[in-house]
Chains A and B, each alone.
Chain A
Amino acid sequence: MTSNALNANALYEKMRNELNALLAQGKRPEPLMIGIHTGGVWLAEKLHNDLEIEEELGVLDISFHRDDFEQSGLNPKVQQSKLPCSTEGRHIILVDDVIMSGRTIRAAMNELFDYGRPASVTLITLLDLQQRELPIQADIIGGTLAISPEQSVKLTGPEPLALEIRNRS
């Protein structure tokens, strides 16, 4: 863990530059960027703006595809998924704030595929907490961080974006 591991802006810049380089290779033409509620949407809005992506931004809510319904029931606040167009044959850039177990991304991909069959999905996250429980990896990350089981990381925003470590009560 470096001292600027939680400097959200530095992590964001690294992530944005890498994505910019990837898109410049031309292997992901006309990308469709999609943010996952809530933190992923803030980041996606910023990236969408900074990288001047033409296609309108999509947002994804994964509540209906979570795998903990048996334990915790319905998510109290369900937002709405809104995609500007069909995902059929598109190159998707999926954006989330933090990747940890990989379960959110599993749920997000299920929701995504309900809208069609994309040509590719690229995953980009600000922070990787490296506690994977599923075989899912991000293509681009801003940085990695090791936290103890009592801790969690929360992105606050949208302006300014900041990361804070919280102790679970």
Chain B
Amino acid sequence: MFEQTDPNQIQLTHDGELKHFITTEGLSREILTDILDRADSFVDMSAKQVKKVPLLRGKTVVNLFFEASTRTLSTFELAAKRLSADVLNLNISTSSTKKGETLKDTLMTLHAMHSDMFVVRHSSSGAAHFIAEHVTPDVAVINAGDGRHAHPTQAMLDMLTIRQAKGAFEPLSVAIVGDILHSRVARSQIHALRTLGVSEIRVIAPNTLLPRDIESLGVKVFTNMQEGIKDVDVVMMLRLQKERMTSALLPSESEFYKLYGLTMDKLALAKPDAVVMHPGPINRGVEIASSVADGDRSLILDQVTNGIAVRMAVMSMAMSGQTKERSELTEAGEE
């Protein structure tokens, strides 16, 4: 864990615009809505023959993945390319850290190559925050997942998917189901859902997969899936993070599936028009049944499509904030 200061002192310019994107926590409803509106205009780009805009032309975006990922890395890469940026993908776990280079040295090296944006995924909570604050404050930093802390672009693509399916957030009751304890996605979702004003957020999980402080985030806790899922509008499943399970928190995967796996029977308890989401990759038969994942109420593939649009929105906004702040600093220096 790294030391934490208020993230909004770091991720916003003095005019209140985004210049890094570290967490959804503490961001205003205006900014979250702005991200969704901009993402909407990028969703429409699919009608074009040329699916590209020149907003980040001449900028260099470095995808710094200290932790493996296929979907997040590839959608970030596509988003940057559709904004016309030059993109470098670095899989650090197989690179120089093996030769003993520190995080700071790696970043300073990339900084010297005149990078304009770092997209960071790291297994330590607070890594993106640390980089934005201490290492390279003049490079826009986008958090692509840090430890158990946050995964803000995932949360925002989920919000976009909900808004497309349901319209307004206010009347909705949303359930988040599964491995809350290890899930940075769940935390970012809860902050975003609260700020966007949904009427109720429920978390459904066995006691062993619930963080102790979870109720302080303003959610209702259920350990019984049948009770928790009753009459909700949106069911957001989480992946069972086998690679993060360090101790025996679960009796077995089949036991988990029996109690918390989303099957057609359990989904029938939610509202008749309830939709199902999952951040992927899916463990079929562990947290979700194939009939549900592939069914007509599943928005799982819409989430992937929206991921590109949301990442384009966040990247262009952060670059815009950085650019403005930099040109103000230059002007101040000239006077």
Chain A residues with CB under 8 Å of chain B are 61, 64-65, 69-74, 78-83, 86, 88, 110, 113-116
Contact = CB atoms under 8 A, between A and B. Distances in A.
A63 to B, nearest CB: 8
Question: 4 closest A-B pairs (Cβ-Cβ)?
Answer: A73-B320, A64-B53, A114-B50, A74-B320
A96 to B, nearest CB: 20
Given A74-B316, A78-B38, A64 B323 contact: no
Interface string B19-62: 00000000000000000011011001001111011110000000
A92 to B, nearest CB: 15
A81 B323 contact: no
Contacts of B17: 73
Interface of B: 17, 37-38, 40-41, 44, 47-50, 52-55, 316-317, 320-321, 323-324, 327
Contacts of B324: 72-73
A148 B321 CA distance: 32
Given A114-B52, A115-B48, A115-B49, A73 B323 contact: yes
Contacts of A88: 49
B54 A110 contact: yes
Given A69-B323, A88-B49, A114-B53, 14 more contacts: A64-B53, A64-B55, A70-B323, A70-B327, A72-B324, A73-B17, A73-B320, A73-B321, A73-B323, A78-B38, A80-B40, A80-B41, A80-B44, A113-B50
B48 A114 contact: yes
Nearest to A86: B49
B301 to A, nearest CB: 23
A118 to B, nearest CB: 12
Contact of B55 (A69, A71, A82, A115): A69
B58 to A, nearest CB: 9
Contacts of A74: 38, 55, 316-317, 320
Nearest to A87: B49
Nearest to B327: A71
15 contacts: A69-B320, A70-B327, A72-B324, A73-B320, A73-B321, A73-B324, A74-B55, A74-B320, A78-B41, A79-B41, A80-B44, A110-B54, A114-B50, A115-B47, A115-B49
B36 to A, nearest CB: 12
Contacts of B40: 80
Contacts of B49: 86, 88, 114-116
B331 to A, nearest CB: 11
A113 B48 CA distance: 9
A61 B38 CA distance: 13
Contacts of A79: 41
B11 to A, nearest CB: 16
Interface centre among B17, B44, B49, B52 (most CB of A within 10 A): B49
Given A69-B323, A74-B320, A64 B54 contact: yes
A65 B54 CA distance: 6
